[in-house]
Structure 1
């Protein structure tokens, strides 16, 4: 039996969603194959929680836990942390130093994809289409007219490194631009301002399944709100339609771009990329490398459509991580 540490929580605004994802993984792992343990990686403490929610400190020196008089070491880590430190490469690098395999991508890929600006810059020479964008760092001079001349209105103002749509605003007038920038700076000291892409939004899961890069059925996102924001994602203010209502030809096109992005970036593990289709061309918005794993999350919906159950999805992730070692 392999000891599996399911890491969840994290240091960002997304920690509660991560705890939900981690618990779903815990409930769906094959108990005849794995001894699963829930590890809460939080700003103020790293602890293992038992069935009664008693907490046992994690020894950061070797990532072990003293439990019931014995020392537990882990064969593999299932990463369910959205945001920092699980999605930006920090946990990946730490575990790599300890030689403990984990289910998400490598440290560099995690850091690169977590930084929207850098990821889009790397992909641009490969002909991957994106929105027109303008970048700001905290302290930069803000020339509102120049920004609007470049990206147009409406536009989106986003923190460069945050997930679950925290800190994002849709700006329709020049007057709304500065307040939106201030909101984004609360989440990150780097900002990305993007032109509004008016088209069909789709989300595409690409995973390593059984050692093969596999594109899952595409999900179409129809938000009741102005865009796919936090409410739309988690509070039911959107419709997620799998498979997407797009032509077979368009589905093929989106799938091939998503797969190409995964391969160009040398990704591994789970990924979920968001695209907006404008004039029959998919434009990449971002990629998540630790996507939500709750039953209502998009990637599990796509896996289900592909005939992959949650236990199979999670078991495969662990098998692939162990195979890397």
Structure 2
């Protein structure tokens, strides 16, 4: 019997449009012989099901179901394609867990932890995971630019603590530009992390659970045409994403082992994509994404393809793992 699959997309953050693209790719490639897919768009104002003609039907939040005519549709699994809140920070996962509905991403605590860059790095540092030197600022606090520069140096990166897709990020070369960069980050979050600049090769490593086994996908090297891997570089073609990465065997072995270690240590499931920068042969962790982009051009699908996994197989495996 076919399973009803809710593909949730949208969300409350600046990543709304990217999430819609990811969700529509999942909808396109999901195997119709095994699944009946439903596009569920979540916004702050409404939760709706969109049919083939883009007609809207409200979602009953009490049990996460929809009415189509006289029929009430329940879902066997939720495919989480929301980047940012509430799909990547644990809110949606906790809601679905309370309802007993399986979903394809990691559980609510792990999602909240990985979405918070400060907490993630603080959790992993005791395990010997290398990271950039960092400095924290919260909205409403006074900004001591001298103290920031003394700790992290220049240039440095100013980032929104809980945001993705490079929203709210700036590379700062002069101390007089710090406050402007921090204000820019505050447009995305009320917590900011400022990190030292790491000058090395940047790579992205996908780790997934596929056919009941944790699998590290081929590594992608990031070569940005811009000053760093910003929004334009990620989504507007201003970068090269080279899979497999042009790194040494030692570097490949080190980052593969570390990415799998992080996935297992944090108790992740489903998809993850971790970003690293090499300083010599040592990978330094930047962040972990637990609902990475799933468009045909996105990094994780590229890596899966390089591993011989097509999108239909990739998406079906996530659903079956979640249901199990």
With the shorter chain as reference, the TM-score category is over 0.9
Task: Give 1:157-172 correspondences, 5 Å limit.
Answer: 157-172=158-173
- Matched residue, 1:305: 306
Is it true that 1:63 corresponds to 2:64 in the alignment? Answer: yes
- Matched residue, 2:191: 190
Distance 2:13 2:68 in 1: 28
Q: Secondary structure at the match of 1:317?
A: helix
What CA deviation, in whole Å up to 9, does each residue of 1:207-261 have, x standing for no partner? 0111111100000000011110000000000000000000122111100000001
1:68 is displaced (CA, Å) by 2.7
TM-score scaled to structure 1, two decimals?
A: 0.99
RMSD of aligned Cα (Å) = 0.5
- Matched residue, 1:42: 43
What CA deviation, in whole Å up to 9, does each residue of 1:179-213 have, x standing for no partner? 00110011100000000000000000000111111
1:279 is displaced (CA, Å) by 1.9
Q: Secondary structure at the match of 1:249?
A: helix
Contact 2:206-2:273 at 8 Å conserved across structures: yes
Q: Secondary structure at the match of 2:59?
A: strand
1:141 is displaced (CA, Å) by 1.8
Q: Which runs of 5+ in 1 are unaligned?
A: none
1:65 is displaced (CA, Å) by 0.2
Distance 1:163 1:69 in 2: 40
Distance 2:301 2:323 in 1: 22
Distance 1:201 1:36 in 2: 36
Distance 1:222 1:68 in 2: 51
- Matched residue, 1:20: 21
- Matched residue, 1:270: 271
Distance 2:151 2:250 in 1: 32
- Matched residue, 1:202: 203
- Matched residue, 2:78: 77
Q: Secondary structure at the match of 1:23?
A: helix
1:142 is displaced (CA, Å) by 1.0
Task: Give 1:1-325 correspondences, 5 Å limit.
Answer: 1-323=2-324
Give 4+ residue runs of structure 1 displaced > 3 Å after superposition: none
Distance 1:120 1:263 in 2: 15
Q: Secondary structure at the match of 1:102?
A: coil
Q: Secondary structure at the match of 2:54?
A: coil
Q: Secondary structure at the match of 1:197?
A: coil
